[in-house]
Amino acid sequence: MPSNKSVSDAPIVRFTNCRILRSHQLQREDLWVREGKILNPEKLFFDEKGSADIQLDCKGSIIAPGFIDVQINGGFGVDFSVATDDFKSGIDLVSQKILSHGVTSFCPTLVTSPPAVYHQVLPQISIRNGGVHGAGILGAHLEGPFISKEKKGAHPEHYLRTFEAGAFQDLLATYGSLDCVRIVTLAPEMKRSSEVIQELAKRGICVSLGHSVANLSQAEEAVQHGATFITHLFNAMLPFHHRDPGIVGLLTSDKIPAGRRVFYGMISDGIHTNPAALRIAHRAHPKGLVLVTDAITGMGLAPGRHTLGQQVVEIDGLNTYIAGTKTLSGSVATMDTCVRHFQEATGCSVETALEAASLHPAQLLGIEHKKGTLNYDSDADFLMLNDGLYVQATYIAGEEVWRQDALGM
């Protein structure tokens, strides 16, 4: 057997008998992995005269890129918006637990909080690669406090803030640091929001529009200044109106700058968005749809009372409300559940459902050259799933980090 040691001593693993999601299609091919990256087998054969050191039979499974959750507030008893001395152990617990739901990277999300919470929590969030310890952290998503009182949803009103005095300096003073921040959700109708959006975009931070009463022209202006995302479409924004469709109108706007795509998050849990609304959004702008869980502390826990930042929430089945009200407050759905519900509700292809949780969030964050696909040289973060889209195993950098015990492989 020819040696494969000419380039690297690292073992080459070949996954066989599988259907790989590549170039928007499930393809009957083998997946080759070395040193945490997807290998091009042709280069391996012809340039290195190499072969596999380890061969794994996937028994007909689907292999898809790992899921990326860009809006997750916590889970399993952990709340990212609560400053604690053991915050790091909390984030470690969530990153470990979401592996079983196919999430290989995520953006821990903080809801509207007092400045002291941002100042204490943000320095404890560090961007890191995933592995057996848990899913990778891509940076924080700060949802608020620069949002609309009218559409605050589950956010505590007395911590909401405006930009009127110092614009970007107000934001910096509130958060303390932007070192680990990847996404900021704000309401674009606020005074001086345009300069804040420009400053954030200049720093490579994704600006998302949400918790807002913006009309369509205000939303379009925000996109022209650099906003690229909509936080949980339909939730916490003006309802669609035919004379002024508001932020929802961005899905079919003809005023989006050339070469720019607007992405939008959807909580596909069967609670936050009626299946008909999910279908409307998907058919209007399929390439912008990003599945998010918007999961809160209670994900993975029994029904009852839990927290969301500074507030108490009640979980009743898949419904989560601010205690004593009927105001929805995040979700307890897992990402794999959202993918299955999305596919069922829209009738879309398996490929489309999987890409809404992998390729699209990677494109939103500008990391599609290394995550969200199974292209050659990209990170070997991938899932094995059955035909019902239930996760059988999760891999990060080519290493198995979770497996369904009953699989018997």
pLDDT digit string, tens, across residues 297-353: 999 988 999 888 888 999 988 889 989 998 888 899 999 999 999 999 999 999 999
Rounded alpha-carbon distances, angstroms, from residue 95 to 45, 69, 87, 241, 402? 37, 11, 12, 39, 12
Q: Which residues are annotated as a binding site?
A: 143, 154, 211, 232, 235-236, 243, 272, 328-330
> What integer pLDDT is reported at residue 145 of this predicted model?
98
The radius of gyration of the chain's CA atoms, rounded to the nearest angstrom, is: 21
Overall average pLDDT of the 94-99 stretch: 98
Is this prediction's pTM over 0.75?
Answer: yes
Q: Which of 158, 159, 219 is nearest to 194 (CA)?
A: 219
Q: Which of 100, 102, 76, 104 is nearest to 90 (CA)?
A: 76
- 295: CB partners within 8 A, 6+ apart: 69, 72, 73, 74, 75, 330, 331, 332, 333, 334
**Quick one: tokens of 141?**
């998503």
Q: Which residues are annotated as a binding site for substrate?
A: 154, 235-236, 243, 272, 328-330
- Tens of pLDDT along 267-291? 999 999 999 999 999 999 999 999 9
- Tens of pLDDT along 221-271? 999 999 999 999 999 999 999 999 999 999 999 999 999 999 999 999 999
> What integer pLDDT is reported at residue 7 of this predicted model?
60
Q: Which residues are annotated as a binding site for Zn(2+)?
A: 143, 211, 232
**Domains, the chain, with CATH or none:** 65-365 (3.20.20.140)
Q: Which residues are catalytic?
A: 294
